[in-house]
A and B are shown apart, each in its own frame.
Chain A
Amino acid sequence: MNKFVKGSIAGAAGITLLLGGLGSFALWNDSTTVTAGAVNSGELQIVESAAEGSWAPKLAHIVPGDTVTYTETFTVKAKGDNLHAQLIANVGEPASKITGAEVTTNFSVSGGATRDPANKNLYTFDQGTYEVKVTITVVFDWTTAGRTGQNQTFTPGPVTVSLEQVLLP
């Protein structure tokens, strides 16, 4: 056997002895525990108010010269540090109308919401609590003559208020 081979065998035997002994290299290590705090999600919702909307004044039948207004309020709850939302109102066509009676629908949003000057049905806002008021006004023209518009019914079309989160650049 030459020296090289002897040396290799000895080396291999030595390494095997070393490895076979304790089984591990004791390199430095340490550990610690990460305690992450709670993360809460926000909310975005629109809620009808407990009191039902109603026509005022309360009239069994409207006649030329009457003006009646329906008011209903909603509460918008928006929570989120980076939350930006839009409120869009849609007024559908009435199912039936009274000839001579003009109908207008208006929306207003309390404190802090910005109304779009180009579209009065669009509001933008950040987190907070807002009150949305919807009013439907019916004006029965006093000059409606003869028997025009009698016994007719005004059935309001679907009026919806939609809330949508938006991403700002």
Chain B
Amino acid sequence: MTQHRRAHASERPRSSAIRRILATAGVFGVAIATALSATGATYALWSDNASVNAPTLTAGSTGLTINGMTDATIPMTAAHLYPGGSVVSAAPLTVHNTGTVPLSVTAAAPVFSSTDAVLAPHLTVALRPSDACAPGAVGTPPTALPASMGSPLLLPPGADVRLCLEVYLSADAPSTVQGAAAAFAVELDGAQVPRS
């Protein structure tokens, strides 16, 4: 009686074992690749940074006051006007630079209220730098605004300048102006002086 043995029967378990090992390694390989890509962002390359620390900048300001106010009423001497005569401000006006920049100060021509049509055309208004206010000679009209201010006044920040106001009635004013009254406003302008 012959017995047939299958000589190759022992090979199959070995090759299937290798296949199982390879399959497992393959699974690990996939898992590792997935783990790497799942952490997502970055390659950890070198980096550094710095900040610029610029301090703040502040803008200046302009400000002008007359006798401490932005809108001042000026008391005049009590005398009445007569042709060729004038009245002046009771005391010099103090103009003050309240800002942080030097100002060039000028004054505009006076603006009379519209109801002063009777007296206004015969009046000459002058505003000039002066420390003492005195009327001019009788019959001599003063230089009118804006020329009475002279060249623009340079007023540094925090500084003062004193001005006098004079109102003159022309010598040839008609008698119809007698008893009339007038009110006017003079605007002072302070403009920033460019840095030299």
Contact = CB atoms under 8 A, between A and B. Distances in A.
B178 to A, nearest CB: 43
Contacts of A46: 48-50
A37 B194 CA distance: 69
Contacts of B58: 60-62, 151-154
Could you tell me the dominant secondary structure of chain A's interface residues?
A: strand
B2 interface: no
A96 B52 CA distance: 17
Contacts of A110: none
Given A64-B192, A165-B45, A165-B46, A72 B59 contact: no
A109 interface: no
Interface string A156-169: 10111111111100
Interface residues of B, number: 25
Contacts of A44: 46-48
Nearest to B61: A150
14 contacts: A45-B48, A48-B50, A55-B54, A65-B195, A68-B57, A70-B54, A72-B52, A138-B57, A142-B194, A154-B57, A159-B52, A161-B49, A162-B48, A163-B49
Interface of A: 44-48, 52-55, 60-66, 68, 70, 72, 74, 83, 85, 96, 98, 101, 134, 136, 138, 140, 142, 147, 149-156, 158-167
For the complex of A and B, 9 pairs with smallest distance between CB atoms: A61-B60, A159-B52, A165-B45, A150-B61, A162-B49, A165-B46, A44-B46, A156-B54, A154-B57
